[in-house]
Amino acid sequence: MEIEGKKAMIVGGASGMARASAELLHRRGASVAIVDLPTSAGAEVASSLDGSFHALDVTDDEAVERVLAEAVEALGGLHIAVNTAGGGVAARTLGKKGPHPLGEFRQVIELNLIATFNLNRLQAFAMSTNEPEEGERGIIINTSSIAAFEGQIGQVAYTAAKAGIAGMALTMARDLGSLGIRVVAIAPSLFTTGITKGIPDEFAEVLTKDAAFPKRMGKPEEYGRLVAAIVENPMLNGSTIRLDAGQRFAPK
């Protein structure tokens, strides 16, 4: 799918990897809608991209349906969806204070996995009405993590959620294939976003010492470049692409 002239919704687009994706898609000629928390810099980012901002907590099911409809209306359609909203907690299955709090596990699954699926089903519905371009109507790009494959100690909830996102990719691609809608997940390693942005260089070197090359944290724009490559290559579908410099997480 050509990026020029397409309509892109970026969930989590006020910062980090999603913002870098939004900026690159805008430079390539796409119209952009930023969806993020009301406390985010989403309005400022959207203004800089001549786009629209739509405040949303992705765990609010009723609001998701309403806000996504507003975003699609503002865009005048939807061809590209990039979803990065998520987060985790640090807790072992059994820790010094007892079993992993079940409520915390549910919250992580809700924020990462269930919210992503809720976004996807609505985004796919919006894409389904598009006129096909060489048979293609849209592309959904979700954010997993290499923790889905080598979750570290204390990441059991996050691992389960991100593994679910990776696991959905092929099945959802098969579900939507007859409509010409692709689904791909990206599994990044450590990137300089959010809480990792302020990590001192010497600590970052320790965290990335097992990477093959380059031995550093990823840059948000490198995630954005993969997003653009996925959009433009119709043979990328149903898979989870590791974006990790050959890194494999150690147990801790």
Spatial contact of 232 and 141, defined as CB atoms under 8 Å apart: no
- Cα angle for residues 85, 86, 87 (degrees, 5° grid): 150
Spatial contact of 249 and 190, defined as CB atoms under 8 Å apart: no
Helix 156-176 vs helix 102-109: angle between axes, to the nearest 10 degrees?
30
Tokens describing residue 167: 């696991």
To which H or E segment does residue 169 belong? helix 156-176
Burial class (CB in 10 A: 0-12, 13-18, 19+), 238: middle
Residue 214: count other Cβ atoms within 10 Å of its Cβ.
Answer: 12
Any idea which residues carry the catalytic annotation? 158
DSSP for residue 98: E
- Letter string b/e over residues 144-153, b meaning 16 or more CB atoms within 10 A of that residue's CB: bbbbbbbbee
CA-wise closest residue to 51 among 15, 83, 25, 90:
25
